Structure 1
Amino acid sequence: MIREKSEPSLHDLLMEYGKKRIKDEFTEDRLLIKFYSLYEEITEIINLYLEKIDSFGILTGVEYNQDDPCLYFRSMAAVSDADPSISMVVKSASIGLSMCSFRTDLFQFTSEMAVRIMPNTVDLIGGSLALELLWRSGGLRNMVKFPASTFQVLGSEKAFFKHMRTGTPSPKHGFLFKYPGISSLPPSKRGKIARTVANKLAIAVRADFYGTRIDTETMKNLITKRIHEAKSK
């Protein structure tokens, strides 16, 4: 006697769908985005924590000179005093120092992960910019769909919407302003160089998505040449 195969229950279907969603959510590039988001959050927390304990410097004699908060925490945590109040300040600084250490570990981890996931992009624009690009884009699958023009203005959403509402000049660059050499150019020439970087970036991103290595050194040399030309004119 042949038994008919029973239809899967709604529970089974929902379980399978849930597993698929989890698998899609934790692809390597999306996992990297989560870690990088955590890095951004811990940086914000460190700055907020600094605001809370900055005034304690009066008790310890350690002043904050607008440098790295972590250096301030380290100096304050090294103070030795039997006074209970100062001891508590030192413990507070030690907590800040622990957050700084965790942030350093996160940065190292995400940087190494970025090199593995998108080596061409990292070679072209550097690890920090590559991480920001991935974070703003939402993943490699989204990035590969972007034209070069999107990469050029990514990160300038506020300026773009203001342009749409009020007719102000459209933005010529977004986060690519941080590409080495662009910020030192006259404003009128930054857009052209950002467009050159965006064109090469679109190629590098696609190569990373398909797991292909390309000659990014030639691309960087061309960009450097264009920057030098823009400065000399």
Structure 2
Amino acid sequence: MFKYKKFTRKLKSKRVLMNKMPKFEKLRKKYLELTKNRIRTASLGGEFILQSFKSIKEIEHSINLLCLKLREWYAYYYPEIEHEIRNNELFIEKVLENPKRKTSMGCEIIKEKDVNEMISLAKQIKNLLDYDKKLEQYLDNLLEEFCPNTKIIAGNKITCLMLEQAGNLKNLAEMPASTIQLLGAEKALFRHLSEGGKSPKFGFLYGHELVKKSKNKGKTAKLIADKISISIKVDYFKGKFIGNELKKEIEKRLR
């Protein structure tokens, strides 16, 4: 028997659905474009992170090189300070104070103009040190904005090293946890595959605080890599912040 009322209800619901289809399609396109914009923003953020990190490495390399030269130079004037202060930043501060020599074994024939040039170099190094700190803060802010979840799990340095090795944020987000675990251990992995050496269990993750303290470093590195694999995908697709939850899961598993 033909059920007219049931048929009309179904027909009406189909018509309502058909009427809503353009709205659904419009909404789908809107969210698709929003996702694309987020991914483009994340990719650009990843590039800024990489450029900042590489710049910091170059600046720190320059600082160490210039400090070495200044130490060699200043040792002729005031060798005691050069030997006593091993920290470069403290050494620069001491040179800028221009301490007066009383019982120093330094060369007596060094003129004031020579000392002034040493101080001038120290000032340039101090400027680099100050800029290095400023750039590190900028990098920290970038990581907080574009990789907040991974930053919580891996820390600033390891996150940057992994990004650098992967090439960009997209590549890192596409990597499985097993690959992330071995990032930074490429040479050891090559020896293992070509010469049959011992298989590496971690790369950059060796520098992670939890791995350092762990008795079973390989297991801990695997656990952290699993969570980084999740966190970096969430960061890349601009998902919600779950870093603290992932961190608690790691700590719970390690108890």
- TM-score with structure 2 length normalisation? 0.73
Conserved in 2, the CA contact under 8 Å of 1:152 and 1:174? Answer: yes
Match of 2:130 among 82, 101, 108: 101
Conserved in 2, the CA contact under 8 Å of 1:57 and 1:63? Answer: yes
Q: CA deviation at 1:56?
A: 2.8
Q: 1:213 and 1:27, CA in 2 relative to 1: closer, same or farther beyond 3 A?
A: same
- AA aligned to 1:118 is C
- AA aligned to 2:190 is F
Of 123-132 and 148-157, more deviation after overlay is shown by: 123-132
SS of the residue 2:174 aligns to: coil
Q: CA deviation at 1:225?
A: 3.5
Task: Give a deviation string over 1:118-140, Cα, whole Å, max 9, x none.
Answer: 11111222223222222222211
Q: Which has the larger radius of gyration?
A: 2
Q: CA deviation at 1:206?
A: 0.4
Instruction: Tell me how far apart the structure 2 counterparts of residues 28 and 144 of structure 1 sit (CA, whole Å).
Output: 14
Match of 1:72 among 91, 97, 118: 91
- Larger relative contact order (Cα-Cα within 8 Å, sequence gap ≥ 6): 2
Conserved in 2, the CA contact under 8 Å of 1:182 and 1:227? Answer: no
Instruction: Tell me how far apart the structure 1 counterparts of residues 186 and 94 of structure 2 sit (CA, whole Å).
Output: 40
Structure 2: unaligned runs, 5 residues or longer: 1-39, 101-110
- AA aligned to 1:203 is I
SS of the residue 2:82 aligns to: coil
SS of the residue 1:165 aligns to: helix
Superposed CA RMSD: 2.2
Conserved in 2, the CA contact under 8 Å of 1:114 and 1:127? Answer: yes
Q: 1:55 and 1:102, CA in 2 relative to 1: closer, same or farther beyond 3 A?
A: same
Task: Give a deviation string over 1:157-206, Cα, whole Å, max 9, x none.
Answer: 121112222211111001111211211333xx101110000001000000
- AA aligned to 1:185 is S
Instruction: Tell me how far apart the structure 1 counterparts of residues 87 and 157 of structure 2 sit (CA, whole Å).
Output: 18
Q: CA deviation at 1:64?
A: 4.7
Conserved in 1, the CA contact under 8 Å of 2:214 and 2:220? Answer: no
| 1:5-154 matched pairs, under 5 angstroms | 27-58=44-75, 59-60=77-78, 61-65=80-84, 67-79=86-98, 83-154=112-183
| 1:202-213 matched pairs, under 5 angstroms | 202-213=229-240
- AA aligned to 2:226 is N
Q: Which has the higher helix share?
A: 2
Q: Where does residue 193 of structure 1 map in the other structure? A: 220
Is 1:170 the counterpart of 2:199 in the alignment? yes
The percent identity for this pair of structures is 24
Of 109-118 and 42-51, more deviation after overlay is shown by: 42-51
Conserved in 2, the CA contact under 8 Å of 1:32 and 1:114? Answer: yes
Q: Where does residue 156 of structure 1 map in the other structure? A: 185
- AA aligned to 1:63 is E
Conserved in 2, the CA contact under 8 Å of 1:163 and 1:170? Answer: yes
Structure 1: unaligned runs, 5 residues or longer: 1-22, 229-233
Conserved in 1, the CA contact under 8 Å of 2:192 and 2:199? Answer: yes
